[in-house]
Structure 1
Amino acid sequence: MLTWEFSAQDLARTRFAHSPLCELVTSVEVLKDPGRRAVHLPWVRQARDRLADVSWELLSQLVPLPTVYVPDFLTPVPAGSSPTLDEQLADLAALEPAAVRRDLARIDGEPPPLVAEFARDPETGTARLVGELRAYWQAAIAPHRARIDRLVEGEILRRARQMAADGPAGLFTDLHPSVSWERDLLRIGHRHFDAQRRLDGERGLVLVPTVFAWPGVFSQLNPPWQPGLVYPPRGVATLWETDGGAIPEGLARVLGRARARLLAELAAPATTTELAARTGLSAPTVSHHLHALHDAGLAARHRTGRTVLYLRTAAAELLCGER
C-alpha cells in the first residue's frame, strides 16, 4: 500500500497528462501476458502481426514479467500535459549515461543479456532502444492513436467535471478499485510496495490515464520526475469494440432506439463520424439526435482542435445503468 499525504498546495498543483511512451511500455506488458488483459485481445492479435518483422528484443527485456519495476527512463512523468512521442524519445536520447545506469541498477536479480550490455554501454544501448521504441510505436500503436487519444481526452474531461462538482473527492472517486481518498490521504493498493509519502507542496501529483495500464495502476516515485499515478481511463472495455454497446431496452422505449443506441455508444467519447460508422445511421441523422441529447442534458460536447467529441453526462450514465 502506498499512501500519499496531500496539502492544499499539492491539490492545487495536481494535474493530468498523457504519455505516449507510457502507453507504449504498458502495451508491451499486454503483449507478453494477454491472458490477464483480455480486454485488449483484439489489439494483441493485430499487434503481433504488425510486429512480426520488427526488432524489439531490448525493449522486451526491459519490461519483464512479472513487472515489479520498469526503468524510470522508460516511464517518465510528463513535464507538460501532452508531449509527443518524438519529444519523449528526444529526452530519452539525451539522458546522461549515469542516469541510465542508475535506473538499470534498480532492477532486481541478474539482468538479462541485452540489459547487462546496455548497462555497460549506455550510449549505444540508448540509441538502439530509441530505434526499437520508434519502430514498435509505428507498427503497434500509431494505427490506433486517434481512438486512444479520444478515450484519454474524455477521461480528463469527466474527471475535471467531477472535481468541479465535488472537489478532490470527486476527482479521485472511482478512479480505480485500488485507489481511495480520505481527508488528505490518497491510498493506492500496490501489492509489492508499502510506504507513506508526503508530497512536498511544490509539485503535486500527475495523473496519467493510460489505456494499456488496464487493469492495474502504477506509481512513479523516483526523482527527478514529479510523482505520478498511471491508471486506466474509464471506458477501456469499449475501446476495441466493433459491435457497439448494449442498448438499454427501457431507455429505448422512452427515447427511441436510435438515441438509446447513441447513448450506449457514448460510454467512450466519439465523434459524429465514428458514431455514424458504428451504428449505420447517416451522419446528419446522428448529428440531429446528438443535438437533441445535448439539449436534454444527456450528452456533452467538447472541441479539441477541429474535432468535436461527444460523451455522456452524469445523468445519462445513471439512465444507462452506470455510476
Structure 2
Amino acid sequence: MLRYVLNESDVGAVRFGISPLCELGLSLRAVMVPAGFPLQLPWLRRTEDARADLDLEVLQALIDERLWTPDFLNPRPASPLTRIDDEFAALEALPIEVFLADLLAVHGRIPEPLSGPPRAAFRRVIRALRELWTATFEPYWPRMRTVLEADVVYRGRQIAQNGLSTMLNGISHTVDYADGVVAVRLRDPEDRLQPIDGNGLTLMPTMFTRRASAPVGDGPPMLMYPARGQGALWETEPVANPAALAGILGETRAKLLAALGDPASSTELGVRFGVTTSAVNQHLRALRDAGLLVGTRSGRSVLYLRSELGSALLAGRSA
C-alpha cells in the first residue's frame, strides 16, 4: 500500500500531466501480456509487423514479470503538453548511475541484455526506445493523445462540479481518498507513507495500466491510472439516431451531437465514426455555430462538448 499524504496547501497542487515516454514504456506491458490489455489489441495487431524489426531483447529487459518498468521510463511530465523529443533529450542526459539504480530497483540485478559496459547498454536502450516510438507510436500518437486529453478534461470537470475527493475516488478501483490521504493498493507488499511536502501530486492517465500504479522508488509523487474512453480509440461507434433528429440535422451531425455528452476532439470522433477528420470538423463547426456545441482548446486539440441547448434538443427528441 502506498499512501500519499496531502496537507491543505498540497490539495491545491494536485495537477494532471501526459507523458509520451511513460506511455511508450508502459506499452511494453501490452506487448508482453496482450490478453491483459484487450482494449489495445487493435494497436498490437496494427504494429505487429513493425515490432518484429525492433530490438525486442533490450525492450523486454526493461520490464519484469510483475510488469514493472524502471523509473527513468516514468518521468514526471512538466505539463499536459509534454513532447516526446523533450523527454528523450532529458532521458539522454540521465546520469548513468541513476540508469543502473533504476534497473536494479525493478529486477534486483542488471538484466543480461544490459549487462555489458553501462554506457553502451544505455545507448542501446535509447536507440531501442526511439525505434519503438517511430514504428509503433508516432503514426497513432495523435489519436492516443486525444483520449488522454479528453480524460484530463473530464477529471477537471469532476473537480469543478463535485470536488477533489469525488475525482480521486473515481480514477481507479485501487485508489481511495479520505482525510488528506491518497491510498493506492499496489501489488508491492511493502507499505510506503510519502508526504507530498509541497512537491505536488501529478495524476497521469495512461492506456497501458489496468489499475493505478506509481513510481517504484521514492521519486516525485505521481499516480498513473487507466484513461477513460480507450475502447473508442480503435473502433467505429454506432450511435442510436432517431429519424426525426436526423431529419433536422442530418445523420452524421445527429450522431455527433448524441456522442458529445463527454468532451472529444475531431480526431477521436473521426476514428469512432469512421469519418475523415476534415469532414468531422465541418460538422462540428456547424453544430457549434448553431449553439449546440461548445469548444475549448486543450493543448493542440480543440475538445467539443454538447451545450445546454444541444442537450435540450436531445431531450426533446426522446420525449
TM-score by length of 2: 0.83
Confirm or deny that 1:161 pairs with 2:160.
no
- Other-structure match for 2:182: 186
1:242-281 equivalence runs, <5 A:
243-244=236-237, 246-248=238-240, 252=242, 255-256=245-246, 258=252, 261-263=255-257, 265-266=259-260, 269-271=264-266, 274-275=269-270, 278=273
Kept in 1: contact 2:173–2:211 (CA 8 A): no
Match of 2:217 among 222, 231, 244: 222
Q: Deviations over 1:55-93 (max 9, x none)?
A: 2421211112331x3211121222444322122122221
- Other-structure match for 2:199: 203
- Other-structure match for 1:96: 95
Question: What amino acid does structure 1 have at the position aligned with 2:239?
Answer: I
SS at match of 2:264: coil
Confirm or deny that 1:303 pairs with 2:297.
yes
TM-score by length of 1: 0.82
Kept in 2: contact 1:3–1:185 (CA 8 A): yes
- Other-structure match for 1:40: 40
Q: CA RMSD in A?
A: 3.0
1:59-74 equivalence runs, <5 A:
59-67=59-67, 69-74=68-73
SS at match of 1:218: coil
SS at match of 2:12: helix
Distance 2:77 2:201 in 1: 11
Identity over aligned pairs, percent: 29
SS at match of 1:106: helix
Kept in 2: contact 1:29–1:65 (CA 8 A): no
1:155: how far off?
1.3
- Structure 1: 5+ residue runs without aligned partners? none
Question: What amino acid does structure 1 have at the position aligned with 2:26?
Answer: T
1:308: how far off?
2.5
Match of 2:226 among 225, 232, 236: 232
Kept in 2: contact 1:19–1:78 (CA 8 A): yes
Kept in 2: contact 1:150–1:270 (CA 8 A): yes
When structure 1 is superposed on structure 2, of 144-153 and 55-64 the one drifting more is 55-64
1:52: how far off?
2.1
Distance 1:53 1:133 in 2: 13
Aligned residues: 304
- Structure 2: 5+ residue runs without aligned partners? none
Q: Deviations over 1:73-126 (max 9, x none)?
A: 121222444322122122221122221222122234554311333xxx221111
